Structure 1
Amino acid sequence: MQLQAYTKEFSKNLQLAFPVMMGQLGHVLVGLVDNLMIGRLGPASLAAVSLGNSMIFIALSMGIGFSFAITPLIAEADGAKDIKNGRSYFHHGLILCTINGILLFLVLLIAKPVLYYLDQPPEVVELALPYLNIVAFSMVPLMIFQAFKQFADGLSQTKYAMYATLIANVVNVVFNYILIYGVWIFPRLELEGAAIGTLISRFFMLWFIWEILRRKKKFAEYFKWGRKEALNSKVFKRLLNLGFPTALQMLFEVAIFTATVFLAGLLGTNPQAANQIALNLASMTFMIAVGLGVTATIRVGNQKGLAQFKDLRRIALSTFLLVFLIEAVFALAFILLKDWLPTFYIDNAEVILLSAQLLVVAALFQLSDGLQVVILGALRGLQDVKVPTLICFISYWIIGFPVSWYFGKAKMMGSMGIWLGLLAGLSASALLLYFRFNYLSKKLILKNYKLAQSKI
């Protein structure tokens, strides 16, 4: 098949992906703003945010992964023009995401004492706990927001979540500034001020997307509630069957990145601060890939609803090619700007040098990281989640983590060794997930061909 068959899909892919990219970047920018403002308070404060967010990110990955179950079901129903089922998936997903947000908040509160047993610098732990208390509560509005977002994404209406997230970031910046440093009549709260700013911005984000969606004519049919459909156990079960493995996929990946925070903490405060800077920069480029991953889910789900499996494969491959090209540009940028980018976060020569070294490895895993998340999105569109979950576990925890643990010791390669483990895990994941998609898409095409032949 000619290259043009894939490249002609780039425009539509980017049209869908761009708002998702901006929305996902908005989530990361909340952390970026916290890091930039808190970095001026010193390495210990920056390391404390890193440590507190490491627990938040684990919970966040579970919650967001769970909510991803809504998108392929809505996309398939939309492709089949089935509003009734689409509405049911939305309502059930909203209920489950609300319960999920409350449970994650409670789990984070219960898990706080774990920080004392991770062999982290004591001053970092003491600073992290108050920050964690407040940000944990923001999981409730954030998970409800995710239900609305994934619903709108499934209908290919990706721009509304982008608007909500970007405006919420402005709210976050304002409250961060006045509460971290104590501007005008407001007290100087430092790390707790950053946490309060995040909490306020997430409640605002939820209010905004709810307000804008309920007023749009396109969504009117979906906002009609019925008591019986809210109690349909079969729909809940289908969402759970898709959502739980997807949440585990997210958990396995985010947990290995979180493990780098703990491993870096064993090396000292400066390596941990450098690790946080490199992770924050890498996560911003990763959100671009996440946008294309959502696009792959939407478009593959639509084609599955239409039973157009040749187009499904071609469109999915076009998203793989597009993310490869984009991530190649980011990889080059990380290498060229490795000594300059860390200076935006902190004025500490050792931290800047360590961050620059890590960005070289981050540049190398941009390609595999981008590919694996987009291929996962395509498999999610096929509603194939169980085997990819096993692949993620093997890649990150059987292959990647042992490399990080062994080479990440101070007497070995230190921080660079930790990140080589990430490179190994992400590369294995991308390769194995591609084999899985290649097998399933060809199988669907062959099955459809045989069905067509039997009718002749």
Structure 2
Amino acid sequence: MKKTFSTKEKILQFMTILWPILITQISLSAMVMLDTVMSGNAGARDLAGVAIGSSLWVPISTGITGILLAVTPIIAQSVGAGRRDHVPFTVIQGSYLAIAISIIVLICGAIALKPVLNTMHLESPVRDIARRYLVGLSFGITPLFIYTIFRCFIDALGQTRVSMFITLLSLPINILLNYVLIFGKLGFPRLGGVGAGYATAITYWCVFFIALYVLHRVEPFSCYNFFKKWLGISFSAWRTQLKLGIPIGFSIFFETSVFSGVTLLMSQYNTVTIAAHQAALNFASFLYMVPLSISMALTITIGFEVGAQRYSDAKQYSLLGLGIAVGMAVCCGIGLLLFGDQVAGLYTKDQTVFKLTQQFLVYALFFQLSDAIATPVQGILRGYKDVNVSFIVALASYWVIGLPLGHILSLYTPLAAFGYWVGLIVGLAIGATSLLIRMVIVQRNAAMGGKKIGLCK
């Protein structure tokens, strides 16, 4: 990251940071997408089982990742303010925190997984696949969370291409492992959808070790000397990270869990409806990587400028990011309209599931525009370390408005299962509008030098 003096320089720097993040996020999302696609080709029950398992895991995973993402603005502002000596301490403490959180998740999962699945109206084979898929995946939770901290550090320095290369190296590993474990190739047993969980866990370990090597051997990361001095646990540092990270994590959790909540509520419908809904939602989540990547790039660039107290530059990056996000959303929407049949065909060979997936994909179009505003604005606010309002907005727009409205529409209108999607679209639009208002307030306060909410002094 460096100081920029013109709009052209800002565009160049922003795109240099953005495109590797986009490829990284698409690749990470592709792992989940491949689990679903390849499991769907193993059978409708495998698709439904992995769909249920993913619906339980994704909100937990993304919520906790959100907590750990607090490391990004902390490091970005430290670098922008010239306090590079504080960076290694932040990364090490973040890694300790990641290990502690992973242990808590594993314990809670061991206690709660079976009772949660038993409360759902699922066919016995689907329930069993979902449980075993999550058990397999659980072996990779700890390295995944630690890698998240490493990646936050790498990205906060503006070296997003490094994260991209690490992820791209891991993608073929995941594809190969899915192939041999799901379909029983190369002498391995045929595990169906369950194999996708073990394949993903092994891939997470590979990503962790690759990142560990990079931090230890590759410049400019090795100059921070993470491994030359032992640092004990600092609960005050954990408290600082959690104070910023918990609102971020819960904001993301409320957003992702509401979609999982819809999937769980859809257990009242048949396996075909669950499979079609999950296929469409899986692809919508794949498209979501575009605004999410822009959001992450905005957190890095704005955090750097705010750390240096260049608030006018931070505002320029905000407008730039939002413009790119809206433009990309329009392109993705047009692409989905033109190639909806091909997308549905990726997930299933069952004609009934295929036709229903096509219908669900139509509603995915409307997610794109609201996501193109709400998600980048969240990244902007994180750059200012303003996270509490995003947390409240996410709770209200999704769980107070979106899900209840969707449930009412599903019960009392001909929309049936599609009613949930309509409710969520309304909630997302309300959330986007509210976050825009908050962004204007925060930027105005910063520009006036008044109450700088969450800014480094």
Which residue in the other structure is 2:190 paired with? 188
SS of the residue 1:208 aligns to: helix
Asked whether the 8 Å contact 1:263–1:418 carries over to 2, the reply is no
2:234 to 232, 235, 239: 232
Which residue in the other structure is 1:39 paired with? 40
Q: In the superposition, relative to structure 1, how do residues 224 and 7 fare at CA in structure 2: closer, same or farther (>3 Å)?
A: closer
Deviation at 1:286, TM superposition (A): 0.6
Which residue in the other structure is 2:62 paired with? 61
SS of the residue 1:274 aligns to: helix
2:314 to 303, 312, 315: 312
2: CA distance, partners of 1:156 / 1:8: 15
State the Cα deviation string for residues 141-187 of structure 1 (Å, max 9, x = none): 11011010011111111122222222111111111111211213222
Residue 119 of structure 1 aligns with an amino acid whose one-letter code is: H
Deviation at 1:140, TM superposition (A): 1.1
State whether structure 2 residue 105 is matched by structure 1 residue 104.
yes
Deviation at 1:120, TM superposition (A): 2.8
Moved more, 84-93 or 382-391: 84-93
Q: In the superposition, relative to structure 1, how do residues 125 and 160 fare at CA in structure 2: closer, same or farther (>3 Å)?
A: same
Q: In the superposition, relative to structure 1, how do residues 176 and 225 fare at CA in structure 2: closer, same or farther (>3 Å)?
A: closer
Which residue in the other structure is 1:162 paired with? 164
Superposed, 1:279-428 pairs within 5 Å as 279-409=281-411, 412-428=414-430
Deviation at 1:8, TM superposition (A): 6.7
Q: In the superposition, relative to structure 1, how do residues 311 and 449 fare at CA in structure 2: closer, same or farther (>3 Å)?
A: farther
Which residue in the other structure is 1:153 paired with? 155
State the Cα deviation string for residues 10-39 of structure 1 (Å, max 9, x = none): 433222111111111122111222222211
1: CA distance, partners of 2:228 / 2:445: 39
Superposed, 1:214-229 pairs within 5 Å as 214-224=216-226
Q: In the superposition, relative to structure 1, how do residues 7 and 292 fare at CA in structure 2: closer, same or farther (>3 Å)?
A: farther
Which residue in the other structure is 2:211 paired with? 209
SS of the residue 2:340 aligns to: coil
SS of the residue 1:217 aligns to: coil
Deviation at 1:230, TM superposition (A): 3.7
Which residue in the other structure is 1:88 paired with? 89
Deviation at 1:227, TM superposition (A): 6.7
SS of the residue 2:385 aligns to: coil
2: CA distance, partners of 1:15 / 1:406: 45
State the Cα deviation string for residues 336-390 of structure 1 (Å, max 9, x = none): 2222210111112221121111111111120111221111011011001111100
Query: Superposition RMSD on alpha carbons, in Å?
Result: 2.0
1: CA distance, partners of 2:285 / 2:279: 10
Deviation at 1:438, TM superposition (A): 0.5
2: CA distance, partners of 1:8 / 1:336: 35
Q: In the superposition, relative to structure 1, how do residues 164 and 217 fare at CA in structure 2: closer, same or farther (>3 Å)?
A: closer
1: CA distance, partners of 2:195 / 2:444: 53
Residue 426 of structure 2 aligns with an amino acid whose one-letter code is: A
Asked whether the 8 Å contact 2:79–2:157 carries over to 1, the reply is yes
Asked whether the 8 Å contact 1:28–1:280 carries over to 2, the reply is no
Q: In the superposition, relative to structure 1, how do residues 410 and 7 fare at CA in structure 2: closer, same or farther (>3 Å)?
A: farther
TM-score, normalized by length of structure 2?
0.93
1: CA distance, partners of 2:135 / 2:226: 36
SS of the residue 1:73 aligns to: helix
Which residue in the other structure is 1:440 paired with? 442
Which residue in the other structure is 1:75 paired with? 76
2: CA distance, partners of 1:103 / 1:449: 37
Residue correspondences, number: 446
2: CA distance, partners of 1:307 / 1:441: 12
Which residue in the other structure is 2:141 paired with? 139
1: CA distance, partners of 2:291 / 2:37: 23
Residue 385 of structure 2 aligns with an amino acid whose one-letter code is: Q
Residue 70 of structure 1 aligns with an amino acid whose one-letter code is: V
2: CA distance, partners of 1:9 / 1:260: 40
1: CA distance, partners of 2:402 / 2:258: 8
1: CA distance, partners of 2:420 / 2:346: 23
2: CA distance, partners of 1:317 / 1:214: 37
Moved more, 168-177 or 27-36: 27-36
Q: Percent identity?
A: 27
Runs of 4+ in 1 over 6 A off after TM superposition: 5-8
Residue 187 of structure 2 aligns with an amino acid whose one-letter code is: I
State the Cα deviation string for residues 44-99 of structure 1 (Å, max 9, x = none): 11010000111111220122111110000000011112111122211111111121
Moved more, 76-85 or 116-125: 116-125
State the Cα deviation string for residues 400-447 of structure 1 (Å, max 9, x = none): 111221122486312321111221121111111110011010111011
1: CA distance, partners of 2:171 / 2:445: 44
Which residue in the other structure is 2:432 paired with? 430
Which residue in the other structure is 1:248 paired with? 250
Asked whether the 8 Å contact 1:407–1:418 carries over to 2, the reply is yes
Q: In the superposition, relative to structure 1, how do residues 197 and 264 fare at CA in structure 2: closer, same or farther (>3 Å)?
A: same
TM-score, normalized by length of structure 1?
0.93
2: CA distance, partners of 1:14 / 1:115: 43
Deviation at 1:448, TM superposition (A): 6.7
SS of the residue 2:220 aligns to: helix
